[in-house]
Copies of this chain bind each other. A is one copy, B any other.
Amino acid sequence: MTRSSWIRKMFEEGIRMKADGKGPVWDFSLGSPILEPPAKVVDRLKHLAGGSVPGIHRYMPNPGYDSTRKAVADFISSETGIKIPSGNVIMTVGAAGGLNSVFKAILDPGDEVIILEPFFGEYPFYIDNHGGVAVPVRSKEDFQIDLEAVEALINSRTRAVLVNSPNNPSGVIYSRQSLENLAVLLRSKGRESGSEIYIISDEAYRKIIYRKPDCPGSLAVYENTIMVTSHSKDLGLAGERIGWVAVNPSTPDAGRLIDAIVFSLRALGYVNAPSIFQKTIEECLDVSVDIGWYKKRRDLLCEALADFGYEFIKPDGAFYLFPKAPGGDDLEFCRVMASRRVLVVPGRGFGMPGYFRIAYCVGDGIIEGALPEFKAAI
């Protein structure tokens, strides 16, 4: 608990501040997708909720409805060019539930998972839950993968590299070159150790992108890829906990791996992904919230902060900006900002002290209201 989430700490600090009656709070702490689900999602959900679909709220097989798994498999096959059978898709309780099920499936005590800095601060907990050890590795200045640094950390206990693209908190999309080089390295190291080193590809932000990526993701470039995602962001369903896992059929012993993930999701007490949302997303894989809405915020924030003198890599996806903390001390900078009633999260929460995260998935006027404070603080 003492290592617990900086994000949640700031979010809860925000709830306290908002109640103190001392004026507005400019809250950039939580990556809470603020947009309502697309109309198609609402219509579909309303239809399913109306009592006209018998059995919609019952248990189904642990990995999910066959029809949902098939819809997801077809969707991801067409997106990646890799033919995914529906049996390789497992519906999960969000991406967080999917990651935990995958880690339980593949980790023995002491096994290592490499995570790329900066990383989502919950990853080390997800790995630790199942006896694994999170091994953070630095990235290049532009937040792309530092292959030599990764290579230096691989050993016989390395079971996976966790790749989050678009990245929370940096907003970076890993390039085809980065992913292909990583694939070559992991193939070679896997052969040496005699077992697969997986890429676990957390793509929770896959549709929140501001340019077309040069590659459809790890699934398309590396056979030992387990893709994990959710509809929290692209369909605005964060509180509903609906996501899925897709296993590349070319990974050796894929059937046994899938069985282990399904067993894990049951044994961990997820049991199944929420039923009505499986059936909802089944027909809504082709829609998303308005990405332009997020892009406007990115552009507004980036332009102003660059103008004030903040240093950062302009994000290509997700809804975060991860600048260097002026003065170098991220905790001190976040304290200064909080005293100005602006909530941002220290970079050490993502394995990178000296930076801070701005979650710009915020309502109209919040960025504009906070800009004078950012200007004054630097």
Ordered by A's residue number, 19 sampled pairs between the chains whose C-beta atoms are within 8 Å are A4-B263, A5-B266, A8-B62, A8-B266, A11-B61, A34-B58, A36-B55, A46-B46, A58-B238, A96-B269, A97-B270, A122-B266, A126-B269, A129-B269, A239-B272, A239-B274, A240-B275, A240-B276, A241-B241
A12 contact set on B, CB distance < 8 A: 61
Q: Evaluate whether A59 and B32 lie within 8 angstroms (CB atoms) in the complex, with A269-B99, A269-B100, A270-B96 already known.
A: yes
Q: Evaluate whether A238 and B100 lie within 8 angstroms (CB atoms) in the complex, with A50-B42, A271-B94 already known.
A: no
Q: Evaluate whether A269 and B97 lie within 8 angstroms (CB atoms) in the complex, with A59-B32, A238-B59 already known.
A: yes
Query: Nearest-CB distance from A233 to chain B (Å)?
Result: 11
Residues B42 and A1 in contact, CB atoms below 8 Å apart: no
Instruction: List CB contacts (< 8 Å) of A247-297 with chain B.
Output: 259-260, 263, 266-272, 274-277
Q: CB-defined interface of A48-83 with B at 8 Å, one 1/0 digit per residue?
A: 111100111111111000000000000000000000
| Alpha-carbon distance A264/B2, docked complex (angstroms) | 13
| Alpha-carbon distance A50/B44, docked complex (angstroms) | 10
| Alpha-carbon distance A11/B49, docked complex (angstroms) | 26
Instruction: List CB contacts (< 8 Å) of A82-108 with chain B.
Output: 93-94, 96-100, 104
Question: Which of B238, B266, B270 contacts A93, CB < 8 Å?
Answer: B270
With both beta carbons as reference points, the residue of chain B lying nearest to A231 in the complex is identified as B57
How many copies of this kind of chain does the complex include?
2
Tell whether A33 is near chain B: CB-to-CB under 8 Å.
yes
Residues A263 and B62 in contact, CB atoms below 8 Å apart: no
Residues A51 and B32 in contact, CB atoms below 8 Å apart: no
Residues A51 and B59 in contact, CB atoms below 8 Å apart: no
A100 contact set on B, CB distance < 8 A: 268-269
| Alpha-carbon distance A114/B238, docked complex (angstroms) | 36
Residues B30 and A51 in contact, CB atoms below 8 Å apart: no
Tell whether A236 is near chain B: CB-to-CB under 8 Å.
yes
Residues A37 and B49 in contact, CB atoms below 8 Å apart: no
Query: Nearest-CB distance from A132 to chain B (Å)?
Result: 13
State how many residues of chain A have any CB contact under 8 Å with chain B. 62
| Alpha-carbon distance A122/B263, docked complex (angstroms) | 11
Residues B32 and A42 in contact, CB atoms below 8 Å apart: no
Residues A94 and B49 in contact, CB atoms below 8 Å apart: no
With both beta carbons as reference points, the residue of chain B lying nearest to A34 in the complex is identified as B58
Tell whether A143 is near chain B: CB-to-CB under 8 Å.
no
| Alpha-carbon distance A270/B272, docked complex (angstroms) | 12
Residues A36 and B59 in contact, CB atoms below 8 Å apart: no
A96 contact set on B, CB distance < 8 A: 269-271
With both beta carbons as reference points, the residue of chain B lying nearest to A92 in the complex is identified as B269
Tell whether A308 is near chain B: CB-to-CB under 8 Å.
no
With both beta carbons as reference points, the residue of chain B lying nearest to A124 in the complex is identified as B267
Q: Evaluate whether A58 and B42 lie within 8 angstroms (CB atoms) in the complex, with A1-B263, A94-B271, A96-B270 already known.
A: no
| Alpha-carbon distance A12/B268, docked complex (angstroms) | 20
Task: Add 12 more A-B contacts to A36-B57, A239-B274 (CB < 8 A).
Answer: A1-B263, A5-B266, A32-B59, A48-B49, A59-B238, A60-B239, A93-B97, A93-B241, A94-B269, A100-B269, A129-B269, A241-B272
Residues B30 and A59 in contact, CB atoms below 8 Å apart: yes
Tell whether A366 is near chain B: CB-to-CB under 8 Å.
no
With both beta carbons as reference points, the residue of chain B lying nearest to A37 in the complex is identified as B57
| Alpha-carbon distance A32/B58, docked complex (angstroms) | 7
Tell whether A338 is near chain B: CB-to-CB under 8 Å.
no
Residues B49 and A268 in contact, CB atoms below 8 Å apart: no
| Alpha-carbon distance A133/B54, docked complex (angstroms) | 40
